[in-house]
Chain A
């Protein structure tokens, strides 16, 4: 049986994706930790299927200002990863990594933006490496494109690109703590695979 859209995913599919999310997030925490030279804690990620409108609500509402990091996937899996980082996450990284006070979310300088671009790269690589090592599939990732703007406007990019697949996406919510005893900060990852790619993935893993 092959899936026609993301809404057709069943509990077993979701479990597989959740487990991939777990491994990917664990890898991401380890790599981020060495990149930032800080201890990073991570909770078990929450994996859900959500509509784009629900995603916007989930990350604080369509007008809520967030950072978006967009990464394209190709080769055996085609699709897109979008990271949505909230202001607390960004503030935490700027303060811990650059050791300076975070002021205005919209006014990050080039150096800070390139650090976040690298963080997006690390998080996406970690996830994609987990996928590759479990499935033997080759997956290439693009370098991240970055913006800070309204969540709804950022989400219009994947929703327009993948409109024909449906308006549901795979939503993986991670909760990170940077440093010991740190407060948790949220990072949300949206994975929009093309359906052919997702079917190939489940086939490789023997999930039907």
Chain B
């Protein structure tokens, strides 16, 4: 078994018994996708809601909810997954700092965007641990579909 670490604005897929992990999600969101029947899991760590906000043509598509999720689904499909069989679990989207400034609402904008994109592919969200004000580390066990979240505030929880 190995743990595959996904960095910020990155994504990857894995088969059992491997674990997909991403560390210290703040306002970013980790999106776990699973085709249980075909035993293929995927994890994307997105930072911003929409690629339409990108100012540079060369920008990394994995940074955004819309293009990041699309790329993850495509990668899973190329490896045998079927879109209609996918289920999702998501975590992150915190507001790390209490402030009245609207620009810091990026966490909740990310949550809304991720849900909208998943809905457009008709992928059901089986569990989520989103919002609030603390960082989360995510481990996604592809064999069981369990999303384990570690945080300073709540310790370890399984979803």
Contacts from A to B (Cβ < 8 Å): 52-53, 56, 62-63, 65, 68, 70, 72, 106, 142, 145-157, 159-161, 163-164
Contacts and interface: CB of A to CB of B under 8 A. Distances in A.
A153 B47 contact: no
Contact of B94 (A70, A153, A159): A153
Interface size, B (range): 20 to 34
Pairs of residues from A and B, 10 with the lowest C-beta to C-beta distance, nearest first:
A153-B135, A152-B24, A156-B26, A153-B26, A145-B97, A150-B135, A62-B24, A150-B24, A62-B23, A145-B99
Q: In the complex, which of the residues B8, B106, B134, B153 has the most CB atoms of chain A within 10 Å of its own CB atom? A: B8
A153 B48 contact: no
6 contacts: A147-B133, A150-B26, A154-B96, A160-B28, A160-B47, A160-B48
A184 B48 CA distance: 38
B91 to A, nearest CB: 12
B24 A145 contact: no
Contact of A155 (B26, B53, B94, B103): B26
A182 B78 CA distance: 59
B51 to A, nearest CB: 11
Given A106-B152, A152-B24, A164-B55, A157 B7 contact: no
Given A62-B23, A65-B152, A163-B63, A156 B56 contact: no
A164 to B, nearest CB: 5
A157 B97 contact: yes
Interface in B6-25: 7-8, 23-25
Contacts, number: 91
Contact of B96 (A52, A56, A65, A157): A157
Interface of B: 7-8, 23-28, 47-48, 53-56, 63, 94, 96-99, 101, 103-104, 106, 133-137, 152-153
Contacts of A147: 96-98, 133
Contacts of B24: 56, 62-63, 150-153, 155-156
A164 B133 CA distance: 24
B82 to A, nearest CB: 32
